[in-house]
Structure 1
Amino acid sequence: MLNRFQLPTDVVFLIVLWRLRMKLSLRDLAEILLLRGLVFSHEAIRDWEAKLALLLTDALRQRRKGKAGRSWYVDETYIKVAGQWQYLYRAIDRDGNLVDIYLSETRDQEAAEALFRSAVAVTGTTPDKVTTDKHASYPPALDEVFCDDLEHRTSKY
């Protein structure tokens, strides 16, 4: 059985990227590698993922710098994360590209402001137009982060 020291780092990154990007299970990925002559347990892949996922996340965020459009659509949904219900805020641009996400325990102005600040920091882009649902926390958050320099539209869809 091979261990992680016998593989180049870029191959390990590629394996973790496959897991995250293609939503493969740990056991499916171990089976795919076995078909290619590499014998790894799913526990080894899980260890690699734990160590490298943050590095991959940072690298992917750097690639988004300056590539977001000027028209953003922002929404939030309620999801269960590690057994606790949380709000997942998401901003996408007109072309459907991810601008940024933010996880919060509350659905309030502070969380919306944190999303907008993070999105600007990650992309280096300030939007001209933002479309949100009709939640009351968005207008004051937009005014606080962007002043009155943008068009705010609402849509329940």
Structure 2
Amino acid sequence: MILSAIAAKLKRRSKTDFKGRHFEAALIVQAVSWYLRYPLSYRDIEELFLERGLEVDHSTLNRWVLAYAPLIEKRLRHFRKPHCGSIRIDETYVKVRGEWRYLYRAIDKHGSPVDFLLSAKRDLDAAKRFFRKMLEDQPLLAPDRIGTDAAGPYPPAIVATRKAGLLPRMPTHYMTKHLQQGIESDHFRLKKNMPRIGGFRSFATARRTIQGFEAMLWLRKGFGFAGAWTVREQNRLLALCFGLPVTNKA
């Protein structure tokens, strides 16, 4: 019932999403979801469509991903459940124009998504921005336990966040290597589809595309409602988010 109510609300907002596009909305959503879900290049997807008699240039596919990946993330964000109160935070490396940038990520102890932030630097300011983004985004609850690695910026970032009023109480902060293995494995699931040679071409491209990768990982996990979702269930929710007819119902 909750999922249907949210989907109905998003459907009302989706009437102008594909205005001015020269291809059908369902095809665009399918192409974007393929890129975000599987380790495929734009040229791979171009060839897949060509097999079906559709000529879609790889540069067009790139524009679709940059336009709709953030929109998918924004709409699927409504479906996330509040985390369990015990979260793990870690940062992983992402290559942008040949240089390493930092992707801050958080999941709870059950693996449910909490939030993420791409940053050019790995410092106190970046950690504080991540905590602010994570805690200002309702309906997520303030954590009572935070697990991190031994990186220096985390303790002062937690204190600063508490002073800013984003944490109603001071959480327990622990640094235990084996408890971080869950989020480190989650990094791999996210990054396996990212460009491997040279990385992203710009910071803006990386930020927008990673929004889609994160959202598709949320979708694959099923938001913690009933375990991992099948591809058919994932596509059904994507279709509902964009007001598209649901295919392959059987």
TM-score normalised over the length of structure 2: 0.54
Structure 1 residues 35 and 69: alpha-carbon distance in aligned structure 2, compared to 1, 3 A threshold: farther
Tell me, in whole angstroms, the C-alpha distance in 2 between the residues paired with 1:109 and 1:85.
17
Q: Please tell me whether residue 92 in structure 1 is matched to residue 107 in structure 2.
A: yes
Match of 2:86 among 68, 71, 74: 71
Aligned to 2:121, the other structure's residue is in SS state coil
* 2:161 maps to 1:140: no
Deviation of 1:20 after TM superposition, in Å, equals: 1.3
Note the residue ranges of structure 1 that are not aligned, 5 or more in a row: none
1:116 aligns with 2:131: yes
The answer as to 2:43 corresponding to 1:27 is yes
CA distance in 2, matches of 1:77, 1:48: 26
The one-letter code of the counterpart of 1:42 is H
Shift of 1:78: 3.4
1:127 alignment partner in structure 2: 143
Mapped pair 1:106 → 2:127: no
Kindly tell me the number of residue pairs found equivalent between the two proteins.
Answer: 153
- Match of 2:173, SS state, is strand
Asked whether 1:150 is paired with 2:171, we answer yes
Query: Which residue, out of 70, 75, 82, partners 2:97?
Result: 82
After the TM superposition, list the runs of 4 or more consecutive aligned residues in structure 1 that deviate by more than 4 angstroms.
none
Structure 1 residues 45 and 78, CA, compared in 2 at 3 Å: closer, same or farther? Answer: closer
Q: Would the alpha carbon gap of residues 5 and 112 (structure 1) be closer, same or farther in structure 2, given more than 3 Å must change?
A: closer
Q: What does the per-residue CA deviation read over 1:121-145, in whole Å, with 9 as the maximum and x for residues that have no partner?
A: 3353211211011122111211222
Structure 2 CA distance for aligned equivalents of residues 154 and 147 of structure 1: 21
Percent of pairs with identical residues: 37
2:158 & 2:84 partners in 1: Cα distance?
17
Structure with the higher fraction of residues in strand conformation = 1
Q: Which runs of 5+ in 2 are unaligned?
A: 1-19, 162-166, 179-250
Which amino acid in structure 1 is aligned with residue 23 of structure 2?
L
User: Which one scores higher on RCO, CA 8 angstroms, separation ≥ 6?
Assistant: 2
Residues 122, 23 of structure 1: alpha-carbon distance in 2 compared, 3 angstrom cutoff = farther
Name 2:181's counterpart in structure 1. none
What is the match of residue 55 of structure 1?
71
Shift in Å, 1:19: 0.9
